[in-house]
Amino acid sequence: MLSNNDEQELPAQTRAEGDRPLGRALTSVIAAGKEILAKRRPFAAAPRGSTEALVELCHAIIHHRGEASGLALAQEITAAYRDLTEPAQLEFFKRLAADFDIDREALRAAAQDYAEQPDYQHLLNISHAVEAPRLKLFRRINTALDGTRTLVAMRGDLLRVLRANPELKAVDADLKHLFISWFNKGFLELRSIDWSSPAVVLEKLIAYEAVHEINGWDDLRGRLREDRRCFAFFHPAMGNDPLVFVEVALTDSVPNAIAPLLARGRETVAAEQVNTVVFYSISNCHPGLAGISFGNFLIKSVVEHLNKEMDGLKTFVTLSPVPGFRRWLATADLQGLVDEDLYDKVRQPIGRVVESVVQAALVKLCAHYLLNVKSGELAKDPVARFHLGNGARLHGLHWGADTTPNGREQSGSIMVNYLYDLRKIEINHEEYFNEGLISASRSVRRLLD
């Protein structure tokens, strides 16, 4: 499945978009390659457009040597994959798992040779044997002008069917392994997005916003006003398609509700009064890049950028949802946490009006969930796991902070401040991962007393 034999080469579209003359040259090379392929096609037995035809193209490109025709093959593969129906995609993934897997006999023989003669060459033979041919296939697909984008979309399609088809885990592992190299921090470009940014980028923000829906252009304009900032990571292989973006509010205090931050008619804080940076929405844009960490780099890069841009910034804080809270609450053992007569009440759907005693119980339960409920040794809630893993501190919980239907359904209307204290980020990060310790304010811990 995996090996150290990574080809760190940037994909063809990186070079093409960064250097337009070279991009035109690549297009010419691909056109020439298509002519070559048209004259000699030894792999056209299966009907065009079928999964079998795509598999034949994949076998052909692995064994291909010509550069021009190889690029043309890669282009054909990306086009053929995009034409597959969902059932055909699943069939293709199963063929990737079966037909392009490691040769176990060759691996066993290489391991035996190394056991008998443990020199570098025999170790290298093991390294080659442990790498599945589909890794070479993915690298060659990546040379197409839209290869990276297609592979990212392919993994997104794969993740949708992975739970029901665990035999495909090796295919996912290989794609993720390559993406970790191709999308490492050295290739990422931080861009500030404002109303003057290209329309295609602004359209992506509306489409990708995953936390607080952007309802059209007027709503987007409100989020890009002078008291707001938006930053995104881009990768040269993905063009103007962001990988992840964060929306930022510039305020004079720590917020306790989302509606005032999103209001179009809000009063703008004077620049000289701004002392707080609020990260209120972080959206990952491509399901196929799940598990490839961008958000932690993004927040730290934005903090550095804003500190250079503005004087007087003292507080960096989030206003975050608790998306796993109500799901956990539905089946949690509440004995000893709240009074027994509140069990049913705290599990009921959150309405517009909630008794104060139920509000207090829900906030207490949420604090318990964030501080004590774990997945392994880390916080169970995905947003908490992200921010605590970045070295943030659990700073405050706010009842009624998100009264939207989604906010009530997932988080019980509760939102959380995670504080990024620049002096303690690294300490908190180390203690969280090494000792499982969660940094939390006294006011949060007091909720559990």
User: What average pLDDT does the structure give for the chain?
Assistant: 89
**Per residue in 384-410, pLDDT tens?**
999 999 999 999 999 999 999 999 999
Strand partners, 382: none
pTM of the model: 0.85
| Residue 8: pLDDT band with limits 50, 70, 90 | very low
Same domain, 246 and 356: no
Q: Domain with 260 in it: what CATH number?
A: 3.40.630.180
Residue 449 has pLDDT above 90, yes or no: no
Report the distance separating Cα 303 and Cα 340, nearest Å: 45
Domain membership flag for residue 269: yes
Same domain, 108 and 228: no
Same domain, 294 and 326: no
- Kindly provide the b/e burial profile for residues 285-309, where b requires at least 16 CB atoms within 10 angstroms of the residue's own CB: bbebbeebbbbbbbbbbbbeebeee
Q: What is the pLDDT of residue 16?
A: 38
**Per residue in 172-227, pLDDT tens?**
999 999 999 999 989 999 999 999 999 999 999 999 998 999 999 999 999 999 99
Same domain, 67 and 150: yes
Domain membership flag for residue 6: no
What total number of domains does the chain contain? 3
Report the distance separating Cα 376 and Cα 374, nearest Å: 6
Same domain, 176 and 197: no
Using a pLDDT cut of 70, give the percent of the chain over it: 89
Q: What is the pLDDT of residue 148?
A: 96
Same domain, 18 and 160: yes
Residue 214 neighbours by CB under 8 Å, 6+ apart: 205, 206, 220, 223
Provide the CA 183 distance to its chain's centre, in angstroms.
Answer: 11
Range of the domain at 60: 12-182
- Among residues 165, 171, 241, which one has the least CA distance to residue 207? 241
- Give the domain-ending residue among 127, 154, 182: 182
Same domain, 265 and 347: no
Same domain, 16 and 142: yes
24 against 61, higher pLDDT: 61
Dihedral-angle region of residue 49 (phi above 0 means left; psi in -120 to 50 means alpha; beta otherwise): left
- Among residues 237, 243, 96, 102, which one has the least CA distance to residue 172? 96
Domain membership flag for residue 324: yes
18 against 347, higher pLDDT: 347
Residue with tokens 């997104």: 156
**Per residue in 270-328, pLDDT tens?**
989 999 999 999 999 999 999 998 878 899 999 999 999 999 999 999 999 999 999 99
Same domain, 95 and 197: no
Same domain, 41 and 161: yes
Domain membership flag for residue 4: no
Domain membership flag for residue 7: no
| Residue 70: pLDDT band with limits 50, 70, 90 | confident
- Give the domain-ending residue among 312, 345, 371: 312
Instruction: Specify the range with the lowest mean pLDDT, choosing from 17-21, 59-63, 168-172, 263-267.
Output: 17-21
- Evaluate whether 413 touches 422 at the Cβ level (below 8 Å): no
Same domain, 122 and 258: no
| Residue 28: pLDDT band with limits 50, 70, 90 | low
- Among residues 190, 188, 158, 426, which one has the least CA distance to residue 306? 190
| Residue 56: pLDDT band with limits 50, 70, 90 | very high
- Give the domain-ending residue among 270, 295, 312: 312
Instruction: Specify the range with the lowest mean pLDDT, choosing from 112-121, 145-154, 167-176, 279-288.
Output: 112-121
Q: Domain with 52 in it: what CATH number?
A: 1.20.140.90
| Residue 30: pLDDT band with limits 50, 70, 90 | low
Residue 77 has pLDDT above 60, yes or no: yes
Q: Domain with 401 in it: what CATH number?
A: 3.40.630.150
Same domain, 49 and 142: yes
Residue 1 has pLDDT above 80, yes or no: no
